[in-house]
Amino acid sequence: MKFGKEFVSQMVPEWQDAYMDYSSLKNILKNIMDIRRKSRPSEFSQGPPTTTTTTSDLKRKVSMYRAFSGLMGKKGTRNSSSTAEQGGDEEVILVNLVKEAGLSESRYQTMFLMSSEEGGDCELAFFNRLDDEFNKVVRFYYKKVGEVVEEANELNRQMNALIALRIKVERPNLWLHQNPTGDPHFSHDHPTSHLLRNRNPGRAKMDSIPEVETNGEDRHEGVEISGNSRVFKPAPIEILDHVKINVPPETPISTVKGLLMSPSSELSFTKAELRKAEERMTIAFVEFYQKLRFLKSYCFMNQLAFSKIMKKYEKITSRSASKTILKMVDDSYLGSSDEVNMLMERVEATFIKHFSNGNRSEGMKILRPTAKRERHRITFLLGCCFGCSVALIVAIVVAIHARNIFKSPGRTRYMDNIFPLYSLYGFIVIHMIMFACNIYFWKRYRINYPFIFGFKQGVDLSYREVLLIASVISMLTLAGAISNLDMDMDPRTQNYKALTELVPLALLLIMVVVIFLPFNIIYRPSRFFFIQCTFHCICAPLYKVTLPDFFMADQFTSQVQALRNVQFYICYYGWGDFLKRSNKCIESNVYKIFFIVVAIIPYWFRFLQCLRRLVEEKDRLQGYCSLKNFSTIVAVLMRTIFELRRNVTLRVLAAATSGIATIANTYWDIVIDWGLLRRNSKNPWLREKLAVPNRGVYFIAMVLNMILRFAWMQTVLGFRETPNLHRTVIIAIFASLEIVRRGIWNFFRLENEHFNNVGKFRAFKSVPLPFQHDDDHRL
């Protein structure tokens, strides 16, 4: 793989604008090559220009090798006033560290001394662009390192409080203090842990204290060795006098209590509080360590990119200028800072000691989860299940023609009773196929969907795994459908075989059992994530609304017909109609009421979620979103009532409300959720950043969204009966089109969210810390 592609693949997606723009510099070098090819055709006819192996060239290669010494903790001079090459390069370029007027930051500036030569303008443009890219990288890296150092300070304070809480909970009768003579009265079994001292945020260096985790036999937990004497550091249990525990509403009960009474944040020193604090600190350390890994990768990849681009420059121009540039890189903050490496060592030592019982292998597994590997058996099983599904489809078609089922007197009874039972699984399979397509294209266009959804590394499903689940469901559904193709019944009792009639119900029960299966099989993390998001939707607005929660609620709004099929299951099997393959559900007033309620429930979830976000975030846009969902609720209510009681007045009301809701939802999809139709964008009527190179895809998606949005008005317009298709088939077709529309919406919705994160360089989720310190008592 060429370095350019490797460079892009190794980028942190949300930081891609902060990396060195390798492709633009490469394009400038191509222009330089074209100019040289025209002016010196004889040199390029024999191949690319080469340089003889001289002492200067050898020194350049050594310098390129040493360009990454900063990663090994080398402490270089960060504020040198100028960098000039000793040797043969001083006549090519000169690098200075200058401070611009009115700015507090210094920047590197390269002076190209050969601009008067032919093609010198392009080379001058190359070095100017190189300066801009390098200064951008250094500024970004300096800023991010400052952020992680400040976060390390906070983690250090949190660890002090956690250790004090451990001592207080596990050994409440132990009195920790140090008498004036220095004789300690505490057990050495109580550890203390520090990442680094409090520091001035503006300082580039960090002041580290001695690590607690050591390999020597003369150092014990809570004890430091200074020369030949021991200095005891008792656990500061008085910290708990100035600490409160963060208890955000995380359950419906706690949320209701928080509304009715002021929540208590005082520590009660219980094991439950300690366990919750340890869980949060574990998550915080893992997330913080991931930040450090990303920063280290960012530093290394950018240094490597500057090395590669200068190598290309030398190869094209036959000038030896890389030594000066790479020395500039090595001496800069990017190449000489060691804060990230030191922090990584401290985090590893602290985490292993206090969260994995000193087991390094277990601790590192948590800090560095292995990436998920694609397995061949998934592809093999997918192919088998897909092949079986195709074979079953062929078998059903042959059976229908062989038995002439289309002209059978039981055709209408079958479509009214059996087809809705199996169409439920069809809706699920179509949704999963669309989601698998979303995953494939999100990965292809580097949309960081695991971070957006908050998936743990290594547990998110690949598109092959989603397709495998869909294939298994379709295979079982088609096999069950064959068993229900038998139209024969007992002429004396008018009853059908109970065993075959129970097949759809058995499939539904199997799916429910698998979803709630507590064992670590069949993708348990994904199943529990689905259960959690669904439960948060049901309990809206009692949970804080996150993107996975409202994304899941949006999926349910496209599965209204599937929810109605579940209601039909309850009626069909609960009232015993399955024995005679006939039902009178629609004649029940209770069924009609729930027929309306079930259709409204998903939109009601979204309405409540928007109200919760409006109150918490004070975002006026969420108020408009709640009005949009309320208009949809009214439209669904009117068209459902019209479907049950058809008359002209209800038709007019249903058409009016459906039209208003359709226009509002279409506008919201395209402008708000997708971020398109920006008139002043550099991509006319789209947005500034696009993941798909072909801009026509976005216009096609907008047109399709509008067409499929208006398709739901088929109820009002009366397209429910056709000569060749049964009413339930028409319903299933339009429900499937809505699922397809939702699948298209999913891709562009997450693409827009991804670029919002990119614009803010937001590559990590915020982790709530367990303790809150009093501002007047800094620890």
Q: Model confidence over 40-71: pLDDT tens digits?
A: 665 555 555 444 444 344 444 444 433 433 33
Q: What is the DSSP string of 62-98?
A: HHHHHTTGGGGT----S--SEE--SSTTTTTEEEEEE
Measured distance CA(473)–CA(613) in Å, rounded: 36
702 exposure class (CB count in 10 Å sphere: 0-12, 13-18, 19+):
buried
> CB neighbours (10 Å) of residue 77?
10
Task: Match 């080379």 to its residue by tokens.
Answer: 123
- Name the region of 358 (left: φ>0; alpha: ψ -120 to 50; beta: rest): left
Cα–Cα distances in Å, from 166 out to 235, 694, 773? 10, 57, 17
For 379-412, the pLDDT digits (tens) are 999 999 999 999 999 999 998 888 887 777 778 8
Query: If pLDDT is split at 50, 70 and 90, which confidence band does 591 have?
Result: very high
pLDDT of residue 191: 39
Measured distance CA(384)–CA(376) in Å, rounded: 12
pLDDT of residue 294: 93
Domain boundaries, the chain: 3-145+290-367, 376-759
Which of 90-99, 349-358, 521-530 shows the lowest mean pLDDT across its residues? Answer: 90-99
pLDDT of residue 383: 96
Task: Match 């009421």 to its residue by tokens.
Answer: 593
pLDDT of residue 369: 84
Could you tell me the pTM of the whole model? 0.82
Q: Given a cut of 80, is residue 264 above it in pLDDT?
A: no
Q: Given a cut of 90, is residue 135 above it in pLDDT?
A: yes
Q: For the residues 201-220, what does the mean pLDDT come to?
A: 35
Q: What is the overall mean pLDDT for the chain? A: 81
What does the H/E/C string look like for 730-757? HHHHHHHHHHHHHHHHHHHHHHHHHHHH
User: How does DSSP classify residue 692?
Assistant: S
For 491-502, the pLDDT digits (tens) are 665 677 778 889
Q: For the residues 737-744, what does the mean pLDDT come to?
A: 96
Q: Given a cut of 60, is residue 163 above it in pLDDT?
A: yes
User: How does DSSP classify residue 585?
Assistant: G
Query: If pLDDT is split at 50, 70 and 90, which confidence band does 463 have?
Result: very high
pLDDT of residue 720: 53
pLDDT of residue 711: 79
pLDDT of residue 548: 94
* Residue pair 152/343 in contact by the 8 Å Cβ criterion: yes
Which residues are 520's β-sheet partners?
none
Q: For the residues 646-674, what does the mean pLDDT come to?
A: 91
User: Six-digit token pair at 522?
Assistant: 């069949």
Query: If pLDDT is split at 50, 70 and 90, which confidence band does 73 have?
Result: very low
pLDDT of residue 3: 86
Measured distance CA(330)–CA(326) in Å, rounded: 6
291's CB contacts (< 8 A; 6+ apart) are: 148, 151, 763, 764
User: How does DSSP classify residue 460?
Assistant: S
Q: For the residues 183-203, what does the mean pLDDT come to?
A: 39
Q: For the residues 98-117, what does the mean pLDDT come to?
A: 70
pLDDT of residue 647: 83
Q: For the residues 637-659, what does the mean pLDDT come to?
A: 87
pLDDT of residue 216: 36
Angle at 205 between CA 200 and CA 207, to 5 degrees: 75
